[in-house]
Chain A
Amino acid sequence: GAGVSQSPSNKVTEKGKDVELRCDPISGHTALYWYRQRLGQGLEFLIYFQGNSAPDKSGLPSDRFSAERTGESVSTLTIQRTQQEDSAVYLCASSLLPGNYEQYFGPGTRLTVT
């Protein structure tokens, strides 16, 4: 498909386990963003990539969160030792370039930590 895809769509994990969330951006988009959206809340910026580099990691809530991007394409957001407060929808978006360009969002991964 031509849009942003994310997998899995839903993930239920036990507290303390590690999880990996995947994002496949639109082909050719150099910028990739990760956001967290708690139930009924707005979008909380986590990190963005320009190419394979992450110029701004300021939104990552703790050192349990990390992300990488390879081949200027797929990105993985990893949460180690998950906590119940990590439960949220994790959204990925990509844009042609960083900044003043439309961000195209994926459908999100709903993470539930039990």
Chain B
Amino acid sequence: GENVEQHPSTLSVQEGDSAVIKCTYSDSASNYFPWYKQELGKGPQLIIDIRSNVGEKKDQRIAVTLNKTAKHFSLHITETQPEDSAVYFCAAIPGNQFYFGTGTSLTVIP
């Protein structure tokens, strides 16, 4: 099955700085790569996703890049704000099942 690794597990940045979270996957059949944000006491919520026919996607302060050859994808958050503090999960989908990374706890320091 698919194996998704996510780094770093924790990340602290100053407000206004950028944050980058990286994931690697193993199954070349994976063709959909969503990123979820989970706030304390809530379920994860999709913030951005990318499909395998695209190398980069941007939505305001959030961007995702995908390198299919190297089997890795990254989440970039620019101009971070305190409300960006949460746990972020990447996922790779080779079929019908989502394979999630282990999560990154992001803290934005005001």
Contact = CB atoms under 8 A, between A and B. Distances in A.
B89 A43 contact: yes
B89 A42 contact: yes
B92 to A, nearest CB: 11
Interface in A67-114: 91, 93, 98-100, 102-108
B93 A105 contact: no
B107 to A, nearest CB: 14
Interface residues of B, number: 23
Contact of B43 (A42, A50, A102, A106): A106
Given A41-B102, A42-B89, A99 B42 contact: no
Contact of A108 (B43, B89, B100, B102): B43
A98 B102 contact: no
B67 interface: no
A45 interface: yes
A91 B44 CA distance: 9
Interface of B: 31-32, 34, 36, 41-46, 49, 51, 89, 93, 95-103
Given A45-B100, A99-B96, 10 more contacts: A48-B97, A50-B96, A56-B97, A91-B43, A99-B32, A100-B93, A103-B34, A104-B46, A107-B41, A107-B42
